[in-house]
Amino acid sequence: MRIGELSERTATPRRLLRYYEEQGLIVPYRCANGYRAYDERFVDRVLQIRGLLDAGLPTRIIKQILPCLDKPRTIHFPDATPQMLATLEGELDRMSERIDCLIRNRDAIAEYLDVVRGTASGAAASAVAASAVSAAAAEGTPAEAALPSAGVCAVPVA
């Protein structure tokens, strides 16, 4: 397939695919006419790269770990420096924090939907919220902390 089809199938702009090539993340075949040619495996590879970038990893680290996505048991990095390992550990910690935050957000939204859907109108949901706020006030807790949305947190994006 050519770059346009890969771009369409992965929802990735052509310019970004060329950038991935410049960074050594993907290496397309070249046809006799000089056009880039990609086989089916590039669809998954581009999606993996996008996922890793979305998780906050820089391209220099992605380039190092991409081989692990193919055959993790046979990959060995003799050049893995303490700095690289520390960077990966930091990224792993940040990803774990984001996952925890996303879980709290999901749970807060699910709780809110459960309350709202459990009633014919929003009146019962308002009553539940008022009750939670009253209980929080009695405990000296801020009212915002009593509502399901209090579990919502900002998900940091690298």
Of the candidates 94, 2, 4, the residue with the CA atom closest to the CA atom of residue 54: 94
Last residue of a domain, which of 34, 62, 77? Answer: 77
**Of 65-69, 92-96, 106-110, 141-145, the least confident:** 141-145
Widest Cα–Cα separation across the chain? 77
Instruction: Write the pLDDT tens digit of every residue in 31-40.
Output: 999 898 999 9
**Which positions ≥6 away from 40 have C-beta within 8 Å?**
1
Whether the predicted pLDDT of 28 surpasses 70: yes
Mean pLDDT of 89-116: 88
Instruction: Provide DSSP, 143-157.
Output: HHHHSGGGG------
What is the dihedral sign for C-alpha 65, 13, 5, 54?
Answer: positive
Is residue 63 domain-shared with residue 87, that is, in the same domain?
Answer: no
Distance CA(60)–CA(152), nearest Å, equals 32
Last residue of a domain, which of 13, 46, 77? Answer: 77
**H/E run at residue 137:** helix 123-139
DSSP state of 73: G
Whether the predicted pLDDT of 91 surpasses 50: yes
Is residue 93 domain-shared with residue 54, that is, in the same domain?
Answer: no
Is residue 73 domain-shared with residue 86, that is, in the same domain?
Answer: no
Tell me, what's the pLDDT at 120?
Answer: 46
DSSP state of 72: G
Number of structural domains the chain divides into: 2
Q: Give the domain CATH number at 46.
A: 1.10.1660.10
Is residue 32 domain-shared with residue 100, that is, in the same domain?
Answer: no
Is residue 56 domain-shared with residue 114, that is, in the same domain?
Answer: no
Q: What band does 145 get if pLDDT is binned at 50, 70 and 90?
A: low
Is residue 70 domain-shared with residue 90, that is, in the same domain?
Answer: no
Last residue of a domain, which of 15, 46, 77? Answer: 77
Mean pLDDT of 18-45: 92
Residue at 7: amino acid letter: S
**Highest mean predicted confidence (pLDDT) among 70-84, 89-103, 114-128:** 89-103
For the chain, the residue count is 158
Is residue 158 domain-shared with residue 107, that is, in the same domain?
Answer: yes
Is residue 88 domain-shared with residue 148, that is, in the same domain?
Answer: yes
Is residue 11 domain-shared with residue 52, that is, in the same domain?
Answer: yes
Domain containing residue 3: 1-77
Q: What band does 139 get if pLDDT is binned at 50, 70 and 90?
A: low
Is residue 23 domain-shared with residue 92, that is, in the same domain?
Answer: no
Whether the predicted pLDDT of 61 surpasses 60: yes
Distance CA(37)–CA(49), nearest Å, equals 18
